[in-house]
């Protein structure tokens, strides 16, 4: 060490440095000050590292709560499913299915091939545990035509829903609802965005084509040029931008509040005269699913069930979460959410946490079983699972849920801007067995 540097260290104002380099001090004192100096710097470094990690990966976020106009919040998409939507000819098959369950025989008695095909197709919309019990009876049956058979088995919208009223005005139900394929068979959805808004169309199987909203939802005055309405402007990040009409009634997805003292509501009758007991666990009930307008129904959505002969008033509430644009400077892993465009999905153009998890489930199933279920989005070349694959599918589904709960697979974060809908049961009442009335 040069004399100049040594002189600087001996006269340093940093406490302890002078003692370390002072030759007049005993070696034990110099060693003690050296240890103190090292430990102090280690402690300071550890403290600084913790502060850095906290502000980098767990920054404090200031949350401001404020009210939001109902005209700014879209009414949710509502999907209605029920085995009662199947044609009544299937009800006659329930007695045969019961005998199979009781193991009285293992062949189909007095059933035509057409009846067998319809029954085995509709059985696939039942609960998974029920489906697994019957697997051995269908093991050698091909499943390529399941969508075609289901399409022929389920009644049209006009046969199922009637007397629809939206905001007090009578309307044809097929102008308000879209029929979609789901894990419950064909269901009917209100206020969902168009196919081109939700899906990436590249190599997507044509089984998932459904009419664009601009063609299927015809609730606007005929004098209004429907093509002028831009249905793609709404998203969780953008809300509505640059729309041309001041009248909130003409925005889509539909708003929770349409005008002064007028709120979005829909009222319908459901034709329940044909009862189908094919699926015993939910044979005489209706299932409701509440989801975002840019999500399709999946097995991951929460199910609300209403039995025939009972009435339930469901109250919807919504919470809107908005994130400041300045948070974009942080990585998604740090802020624990995605802004629009930051996470691309294979099948879905619109990113939501449930769309992401659903796609992850599909890919996991395809990887484990080399096939996917008939209701899942898929590429045209992907194989639909046959009956012999059901054990594999159910096992892969259980494994996927375990891995997802441990955050090992999907990395599906929430959206930074989000809307959460909550459903509360207000009251229940007993009704007669006439056609049920549904009110949202």
3-state secondary structure 278-342: CCCCCCCEEEEEEECCCCCCCCCCCCEEEECCEEEEEEEEEEEECCCHHHHHCCHHHHCEECCCC
Q: At residue 159, what are phi and psi to the nearest 5 degrees?
A: -85, -25
Contact 39, 16 (CB under 8 A): no
pLDDT score, position 225: 36
Summarize pLDDT for 287-304 with one digit per residue, the tens.
889 999 888 889 999 988
**pLDDT tier, 338 (very low <50, low <70, confident <90, very high otherwise):** very high
Neighbouring-strand partners of residue 437: 269
pLDDT score, position 133: 61
Summarize pLDDT for 50-106 with one digit per residue, the tens.
877 777 666 666 556 666 666 677 888 888 887 777 766 554 555 556 555 555 545
Average of pLDDT values for 419-430? Answer: 73
pLDDT score, position 324: 82
The tokens 């206020």 sit on which residue? 191
DSSP conformation letters of 200-227: --TTB-GGG----HHHH---S-TTS-GG
pLDDT score, position 230: 44
Q: Is the pLDDT of residue 429 over 60?
A: no
Edge-to-edge strands, sheet with 266-270: 169-170, 161-166, 266-270, 437-439
Give the C-alpha separation, 94 to 278, whole Å: 5
pLDDT score, position 356: 93
Q: At residue 304, what are phi and psi to the nearest 5 degrees?
A: -115, 125
Give the C-alpha separation, 375 to 182, whole Å: 5
Q: Which of 268-277, 312-321, 322-331 has the lowest mean pLDDT?
A: 268-277
Q: Is the pLDDT of residue 357 over 90?
A: yes
Q: At what angle do helices 390-405 and 353-369 cross, to 10 degrees?
A: 130
Q: Is the pLDDT of residue 10 over 60?
A: no
What is the reported pTM?
0.75
**pLDDT tier, 311 (very low <50, low <70, confident <90, very high otherwise):** low
Q: Vertex 149, ends 148 and 151: CA angle to 5°?
A: 65
Q: How many CB atoms lie within 10 A of CB 298?
A: 20
**Per-domain boundaries in the chain:** 3-57, 72-439
Give the C-alpha separation, 78 to 292, whole Å: 9
Contact 351, 343 (CB under 8 A): yes
Q: Is the peptide bond before 402 cis (omega within 30 degrees of 0)?
A: no
Average of pLDDT values for 98-120? Answer: 60
Which residue did the predictor score with more confidence, 414 or 19?
A: 414
% of the chain at pLDDT higher than 70: 54
pLDDT score, position 197: 77
Which residue did the predictor score with more confidence, 270 or 332?
A: 332
Average of pLDDT values for 395-417? Answer: 83
Q: Which of 166-180, 319-333, 356-370 has the lowest mean pLDDT?
A: 166-180
Neighbouring-strand partners of residue 77: 291
pLDDT score, position 294: 87
Average of pLDDT values for 375-396? Answer: 83
Neighbouring-strand partners of residue 199: 348
Indicate the helix (H) or strand (E) that contains 100: helix 94-101
Summarize pLDDT for 170-193 with one digit per residue, the tens.
666 777 788 888 888 888 888 888
Q: Is the pLDDT of residue 259 over 50?
A: yes
Which residue did the predictor score with more confidence, 251 or 437?
A: 251
Please state, rounded to an integer, the average pLDDT across all residues of the chain: 71
% of the chain at pLDDT higher than 90: 6
Neighbouring-strand partners of residue 190: 78, 177
Q: At what angle do helices 113-123 and 146-153 cross, to 10 degrees?
A: 90
Q: Is the pLDDT of residue 407 over 80?
A: no
The tokens 């029954």 sit on which residue? 119
3-state secondary structure of 255: strand
Give the C-alpha separation, 397 to 300, whole Å: 11
The tokens 């007397």 sit on which residue? 163
């Amino acid at each position: 060490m040069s004399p100049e540097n040594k002189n600087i260290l001996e006269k340093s104002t940093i406490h302890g440095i002078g003692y370390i380099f002072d030759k007049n001090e005993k070696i034990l004192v110099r060693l003690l000050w050296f240890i103190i100096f090292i430990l102090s710097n280690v402690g300071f470094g550890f403290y600084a590292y913790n502060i850095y990690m906290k502000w980098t990966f767990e920054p404090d976020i200031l949350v401001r709560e404020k009210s939001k106009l109902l005209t700014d919040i879209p009414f949710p998409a509502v999907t209605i499913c029920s085995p009662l939507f199947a044609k009544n000819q299937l009800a006659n098959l329930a007695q045969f299915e019961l005998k199979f369950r009781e193991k009285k025989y293992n062949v189909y008695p007095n059933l035509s091939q057409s009846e067998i095909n319809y029954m085995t197709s509709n059985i696939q919309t039942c609960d998974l545990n029920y489906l697994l019990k019957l697997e051995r009876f269908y093991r050698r049956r091909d499943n390529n035509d399941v969508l075609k058979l289901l399409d022929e088995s389920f009644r049209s919208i006009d046969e199922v829903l009637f007397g629809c009223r939206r905001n007090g005005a009578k309307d044809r139900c097929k102008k308000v609802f879209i029929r979609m394929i789901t894990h419950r068979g064909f269901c009917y959805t209100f206020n969902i965005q168009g196919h081109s808004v939700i899906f990436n169309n590249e190599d997507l199987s044509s089984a998932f084509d459904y009419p664009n909203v601009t063609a299927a939802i015809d609730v606007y005055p005929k004098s209004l040029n429907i093509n002028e309405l831009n249905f793609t402007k709404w998203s969780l990040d953008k809300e509505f931008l640059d729309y041309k009409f001041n009248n909130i009634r003409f925005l889509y997805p539909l708003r929770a509040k349409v005008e002064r003292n007028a709120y979005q509501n829909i009222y319908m009758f459901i034709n329940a005269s044909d009862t189908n007991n094919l699926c015993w666990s939910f044979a005489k009930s209706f299932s409701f699913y509440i989801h975002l307008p840019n999500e399709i129904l999946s097995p991951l959505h929460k199910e609300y069930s209403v039995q025939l002969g009972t009435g339930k008033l469901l109250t919807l509430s919504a919470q809107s979460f908005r994130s400041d644009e300045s948070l974009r400077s942080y990585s998604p892993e740090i802020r624990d959410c995605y802004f629009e465009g930051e996470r691309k999905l294979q099948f879905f153009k619109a990113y939501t946490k449930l769309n992401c998890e659903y796609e992850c489930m599909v890919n996991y199933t395809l990887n484990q079983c080399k096939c996917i279920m008939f209701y899942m989005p898929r590429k045209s070349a992907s194989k639909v699972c046959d009956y012999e694959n059901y054990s594999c599918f159910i096992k892969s589904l259980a494994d996927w849920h375990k891995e997802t709960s441990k955050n090992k697979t999907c990395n599906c974060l929430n959206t930074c801007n989000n809307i959460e809908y909550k459903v509360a049961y207000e009251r229940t009442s007993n009704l007669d067995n006439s056609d049920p009335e549904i009110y949202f």
